[in-house]
Amino acid sequence: MDGKYGVLVVDDSAFMRKTISTLIEASPDFFVIGKARNGLDAIEKVKQLKPSIVTLDIEMPELDGLQTLGRLMNENPVPVVMLSNGADSTLEAFELGAVDFVIKEVLVNNTSSEVLDDFYQRLLVAASAKLPVLIQKEEVVPDKKVHTEDMIEMSKELLFIGTSTGGPSALQTILTKFPSDFHLPIVVVQHMPPGFTKPLADRFDSLCQLKVKEAEHNEILKPGTIYIAPAGYRQQLIKMKETYIK
């Protein structure tokens, strides 16, 4: 137990539990405090072992990852990094309180230094993360109206937000606070795998007071709209007579 942070590894596959545990313990910052074979086992071991971080598989019998996550956040909140291959379930996990996610298939099949460094960085951020306040659709409107003048100087033409590790949960907190009369276009660049940014935009659109969409090639940026930059492409903003994204 030389590492600083104890990790509970949750997966219904014994092979995956061993593989993920081996990767975690290859870093001097972590040690595996325990392993759980399903969601019910995970809930009990979080109570007993009090891990710094939980890596949680989504697809499991008895109690799947999302159900397990919901119970953990209600009963014993702990930083959770989801191991997932699907965008929809991953984004739902952020709504339930997950701090971050890792593409499971990439992690176990491509143990390059780049992939491992990214995994360890996400675990480090999760270990020190302040657990997000769960946001329900009916709670989106702030109790006290936030005036656009108080959020940003009126002379500005564009608001740009860049996030990486731990970003989606932070974005959910930030973007839902913008009022419906916000006067600038907002561009968000979030480090995500291809195929995840459109579902992310669609989910935020259902939560935010502003319209949220994935940005398209040569699209004119309109005030009061949040644009999620598509993954897998280089983005460039060009100022002409109007503002464009390409």
pLDDT in tens, 17-58: 999 999 999 999 999 999 999 999 999 999 999 999 999 999
Q: How many domains does the chain have?
A: 2
Q: Is residue 35 part of a domain?
A: yes
Q: Tell me, yes or no, whether 132 lies in a domain.
A: no
pLDDT, tens digit, 9 for 90 and up, residues 198-216: 988 998 999 899 999 999 9
Q: How far apart are CA 58 and CA 69, in angstroms?
A: 9
**3-class SS of residue 163:** strand
Same domain, 227 and 146: yes
pTM of the model: 0.74
Are 79 and 160 contained in the same domain? no
Range of the domain at 107: 5-127
Identify whether the C-beta of residue 8 lies closer than 8 Å to the C-beta of residue 35: yes
Q: Do 184 and 74 share a structural domain?
A: no
Q: Are residues 152 and 115 in the same domain?
A: no
User: Which whole-number Å values give the CA distances from 239 to 58, 152, 189, 218, 221, in the listed order?
Assistant: 43, 20, 18, 12, 10
For residues 107 and 9, state if they share a domain: yes
| Whole-number Cα distances in Å, 235 to 179, 185, 195, 228 | 26, 16, 16, 11
The verdict on 14 and 106 lying in the same domain is yes
Q: Which of 127, 157, 175 is the last residue of a domain?
A: 127
Mean pLDDT split into 10-residue runs, the chain, 246 residues: 86 96 96 96 96 95 92 94 87 86 90 90 88 48 50 69 77 90 91 84 92 90 92 64 50
Residue 89, CB half-sphere, CA atoms under 13 Å: how many? 19
**CATH number, domain with residue 149:** 3.40.50.180
Same domain assignment for residues 112 and 204: no
Residues 159 and 196 in one domain: yes
Residues 150 and 93 in one domain: no
Read off the CATH number of the domain in which 34 is found.
Answer: 3.40.50.2300
Answer yes or no: do 105 and 197 share one domain.
Answer: no
150 shares a domain with 81: no
